[in-house]
Structure formats: structure tokens, C-alpha cells
Amino acid sequence: MALNIALSGLAAAQKDMNTTSNNIANANTFGFKESRSEFGDVYSASIFSNAKTTTGSGVQTAIVAQQFHEGSSIYTNNPLDLRISGNGYFAVANDKLVTNDNLLTRNGAFHLDKNNNIVNSEGQFLLGYKVDNDTLQVGSFEPNSLNVPDQFGQPRASDNVEIGLNLPAGAAKKDPTLFNPEDPDTYNKATSSTIFDSLGQPYKLTSYYVKDNLIPNKWAVYYSATDPSGEKPLNLTTGEFTSTKGHVGHSVEFNTDGSINTVNGGVPITTVEFGSNGSGMEMNGADESQSLIIKFDTPTQYASPFEMRKFTENGATTGYLSKVDIDPKGTIMAMYSNGENIALGRLAMVRVSNQQGMSQAGNTQWKVTQQSGNAMWGEAMQGAFGKIKSGTIEQSNIDMTQELVDLITAQRNFQANSRSLEVGNQMQQTILQIR
């Protein structure tokens, strides 16, 4: 009996040393959670034995329990290095088309693969949700793999321009019919923006503002577009002003309080075609029938300097990925060279009611089991879920000092049980030698 008890003690001490050694070996493993060997005594007695004098039958390993408290942070310059501050796990899948077969992890070291999917070091796909690009709201908690396209969309021709500005009430009056874009003395102010044709070729759109010398609080507005061969008038199909140079423009008329009265007499502002039938721009194979609809967004005429509040258009050239940013809610925003900012998705967050019930799958990953309870899906900073920190990775939660102390304790226990086994063996030898 004594030998069996000592052997169980040796096995328990060995298990303790193995557990501690594993903790030490993974001290630098991202997202690793330390383990702790928990033991229970073995006790049994028959109904005919004296329970008061029963010594027990040794020790057994009850469980190797993981401790899920958070580890410290390591800061990087990679926006795809992620840390969960608080509750929750990332979800990864081996097959991006079979996302219901997934694993949970706290290791947030991710990168892009050759197809621009967000993956971990094992090539597993990070899961997330689709979001509405305007509202940034999750429509469905159905997990999908996340992809970061290195370019965004086909070129989009500009067909709408919105202008918001303040024209100075004290500007000098000029004759709109004498407007000449080559002579700055014939207009008061000018501003420009970039527009695009159907192939993504950029052109400079310039708007000129001339304060009417005949009617108070009235301005003339002319437009031009610049291609590689130079600046050309971008006339209107219906306008109120025509200059001696052939430019056709429209009016912007204000009330005495500086608010807008009417633009182009209430007629929609539409430019002529860009191509040979209109302004004669070099389109190089693009759609020559392209034209612009111009809208003014609450222009004003106050006694203050000229101010351009808005000059936007809806066209775009092909954009190439310039930056990726992930906010604390886990929203992945991609910035492209054409100025487009696209919400590509939101990181999926998962938690379970009993973390100790999850089964280890290796690579600092866990599987959901019946003991852990069903996976509860959600998003960062909602309910019990923590927030996402980009450019940060969670280190292991190992306390090296405590592990070394535990290792010494396990070694001492091993030596003590070895001594107990040796004494038991000597007693048996003594008994066998009795004659």
C-alpha cells in the first residue's frame, strides 16, 4: 500500500512539473493561458473497516485547469495585430466557406494572405460580420471571412457636383459679359476641384464667380474644364449669361439678408457634353456624352470673405489600398488612394458561459463543448464583450516568478515521494530478509 501511495505522489508531482514546464515554455506565446494542476486525495474504505484508522490511498489529478485572466500587452505597428480588452474571443475557421466549424482564440496576431484574406499564422480565416457602409451597423450576425481588397471598384464618371460657399457681399461689381478666364480682372473669385470621366481620367473643373454690375445681390457663375491640351469652357445647356468669349453661365441671386433666392432662375444646371459635340475635351476613349448636373447647397452672401464650404463630386478613379484601420468596435475601415473610405466588416466576438468547459485545440485555440455552453456571438463593446485594441497583442498571462516557485515546489514534492518510495522498499527488503 505504501509503495502505491508513493507512486501516486510521484505521478502527481510529475504532472505538476509537466504543467509548470508547459507554462514556462509558452511564456512568449501570444494569447496563451496558464494551466494549473489540481489534485484530489484518494480515499476508500469498506463497510467492515474502521474509518477512523483509514489513511487513504494516495493522490490523483482531478483536472488541469486553465486560468483565463488577461495577459499584458505588447505594442506593434501592425494594425492587424489585435487585442481584446475584456471578455470575448476571436473566431477563426479552417475553411472560409464553412464558418460554422470554427475555433476560439485570444491570439490576435493576424495578417493578409496572398488573396488579401485576414488570416492567422496557421492560415485560418478571421471571422466577422458584414456592415452597412453608411450606418456602420451589423445587419446579420452570420459570420463570414474578412477580406481587404487592394483596390476598390471600377472608375466612376462624375455626373453630379455640389457646391456650398459664401460670396462676399462687398465684392466689386463687374460686367458678366466681359468674363474671360485668362483675365483675372474680369471675375471676382474662382475655385476648382477634380472630376473624372468613365475611364477614371481626371480633369480640373473650375468655377468662376462674377458679381453682376446691374442687378444687386446677383452673381454670374461660369465653368471650365481642363484636359491635357488646356482649359476649355464647360458651357450650360440653359443659362442666363453669355460672355463675349462664348462662355454660357448661370446666375445665383440672394435676398437682402444674404440667404439664397434662386439659382439659374430655378432651372436645373446641366453642362454640355464633355466630348466633341460639347466642350471638345480629349476623352481618349471615354464616354464623350458625359455631362454634369450642378447643385448649390445653401449658398450665402454675407459681409465676410469668400469661403468654399463644399465642392464635391461623385466620380472616382480606381483606388489602391493605402491604409487599414480597426476601431475599438472592431470595424475594419480601408482607405484607398481615390479618397474612398470603405467599411469592410466588423470583427466577430464570441463568448461562452463556462470558459473552463472549453476543450483545448492547440495553437492557443479552444473548442466549444457541452460543458462550456453554446457560443454567444456579438460585437465588441456591446453587452459583456470587451473592446478591440488595434496594433496591440495580448501576451501570455504567465507570471514567471510564480512558475519558478511552483517548479521548485513540484521538485521538492517529487523528491519527498521518491524518499517515501525508497523507505517503503527498504522496509519490504527487511521483511524479506527475516529468517
Residue-wise pLDDT tens digits, 83-101: 999 999 999 999 999 999 9
Indicate if 229 and 175 belong to the same structural domain: yes
pLDDT band at 42 (very low <50, low <70, confident <90, very high): confident
Indicate if 290 and 231 belong to the same structural domain: yes
Cβ distance 345 to 144 under 8 Å?
Answer: yes
pLDDT at 13: 87
Indicate if 164 and 309 belong to the same structural domain: yes
Cα 50 to Cα 44, 78, 286, distances in angstroms: 11, 67, 101
pTM for this structure? 0.71
Q: Specify the pairing of strand 90-93 against strand 102-105.
A: antiparallel
pLDDT band at 48 (very low <50, low <70, confident <90, very high): low
Cα 22 to Cα 25, 33, 121, 405, distances in angstroms: 5, 11, 21, 14
CATH number of the domain encompassing residue 293: 2.60.98.20
CA-based nearest residue to 37, from 370, 414, 415 = 414
Indicate if 62 and 80 belong to the same structural domain: no
Indicate if 249 and 128 belong to the same structural domain: no
Provide the total of helices (H) and of strands (E) in the chain, helices listed first.
2, 31
Q: Residue 122: pLDDT above 70?
A: yes
424, containing H or E segment: helix 400-432
pLDDT at 50: 66
Instruction: Look at residues 288, 313, 338 and tell me which one is the last residue of a structural domain.
Output: 313
Cα separation, 210 vs 189, whole angstroms? 7
Cβ distance 43 to 57 under 8 Å?
Answer: yes
**pLDDT (mean) for 68-87:** 94
For the stretch 377-399, pLDDT in tens is 999 999 999 999 999 999 999 99
- 119: Cβ contacts below 8 Å, ≥ 6 apart: 110, 111, 112, 113, 125, 126
For the stretch 349-368, pLDDT in tens is 999 999 999 999 999 999 99
pLDDT at 15: 92
For the stretch 218-261, pLDDT in tens is 999 999 999 989 999 999 999 999 999 999 999 999 999 999 99
Residue entry with cell 514567471: 400
Q: Residue 54: pLDDT above 80?
A: no
Indicate if 254 and 365 belong to the same structural domain: no
For the stretch 160-187, pLDDT in tens is 999 999 999 999 999 999 999 999 999 9
* Cα diameter, the chain: 139
**Number of domains within the chain:** 3
Indicate if 258 and 291 belong to the same structural domain: yes
Indicate if 216 and 271 belong to the same structural domain: yes
Q: Specify the pairing of strand 293-296 against strand 160-166.
A: parallel
Q: In percent, how much of the chain has pLDDT > 70? A: 97
Its domain, for residue 25, covers: 2-69+396-432
Q: Residue 199: pLDDT above 80?
A: yes
Indicate if 169 and 303 belong to the same structural domain: yes
